[in-house]
């Protein structure tokens, strides 16, 4: 739902993704305008089971207040689990104190604090693990692993459980490929092309080439890149840099839908 980074791009929103599993929705980051993108994509405000916030830079969290308020106006009553770094707790407390007094649903905040992958959420259809990323502030990635029922496994012995990993924002670091090992689909930020590697290093982001190398080392099935700098205008050229290393790469656009 959003493939831009911090600076505005006229036809792209800041970071937000929705993962659908078994009819339930899992929101990953919530940049400004996320609720409008949900309307455009015909996604229900009431079917969101949990929200996962990587860090509290504005382009990943500024849409949260509006979304929570709209959930209340749509009559949500089911509790909402929200996962994120410790500082997000204060942000949610501010929202509840000033805007959430009449909400009819409970916000259950789960503080993330891990040095390696840790299971944080279990749903009927998947498990979610969080792991630290290498950014300027406390930041986490997420891995979603499908739960295959014994009945399904017995009926389809060749079936392999699907998985999805979300890595944004981060500079490269040695452990990451191992933490997303053999994931079916990897989303990895590619804020800059390879020619801007110095800017990426200074701002604790990744280039196209670094994202592709991570996917290759991890043995990922597919790579999706996004979180583009506002300086980028040729997104296919950036994807081509990735494909030279990891051929099955897609440069995401807003409202793209991928089957995992």
SS3 content of the chain, % helix, strand, coil (to 5): 25, 25, 45
- Which residue in the list 29, 59, 81, 169 is annotated as catalytic? 59
Strand partners, 26: 19, 50
DSSP state of 198: H
Nearest-CA neighbor of 1 among 192, 253, 234?
A: 253
Cα Dmax for the chain: 53
Task: Write out the H or E segment, with its range, that includes residue 167.
Answer: strand 163-167
Is 254 known to be catalytic? no
Residue recorded with tokens 């994202």: 211
Catalytic positions are 59
């Amino acid at each position: 739902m959003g493939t831009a980074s911090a600076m505005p791009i006229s036809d792209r929103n800041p970071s937000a993704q929705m993962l659908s599993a078994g009819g339930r929705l899992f929101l990953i980051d919530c940049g400004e305008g996320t609720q409008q993108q949900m309307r455009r994509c015909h996604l229900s405000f009431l079917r969101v089971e949990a929200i996962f916030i990587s860090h509290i830079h504005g382009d990943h969290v500024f849409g949260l207040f509006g979304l929570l308020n709209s959930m209340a106006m749509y009559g949500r009553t089911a509790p909402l689990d929200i996962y994120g770094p410790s500082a997000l707790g204060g942000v949610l407390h501010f929202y509840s104190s000033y805007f959430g007094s009449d909400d009819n649903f409970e916000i259950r905040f789960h503080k993330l604090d891990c040095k390696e992958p840790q299971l944080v959420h279990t749903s009927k259809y998947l498990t979610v693990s969080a792991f630290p990323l290498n950014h300027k502030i406390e930041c986490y990635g997420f891995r979603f692993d499908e739960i295959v029922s014994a009945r399904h496994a017995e009926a389809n012995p060749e079936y392999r459980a699907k998985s999805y990993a979300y890595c944004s924002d981060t500079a490269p670091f040695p452990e990451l490929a191992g933490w997303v090992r053999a994931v079916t689909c990897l989303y990895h930020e590619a804020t800059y092309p390879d020619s801007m590697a110095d800017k990426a290093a200074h701002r604790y982001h990744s280039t196209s080439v670094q994202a592709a190398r991570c996917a290759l080392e991890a043995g990922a099935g597919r790579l999706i890149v996004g979180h583009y700098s506002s300086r980028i205008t040729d997104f296919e050229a950036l994807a081509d840099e990735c494909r030279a290393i990891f051929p099955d790469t897609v440069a995401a656009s807003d409202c793209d839908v991928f089957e995992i």
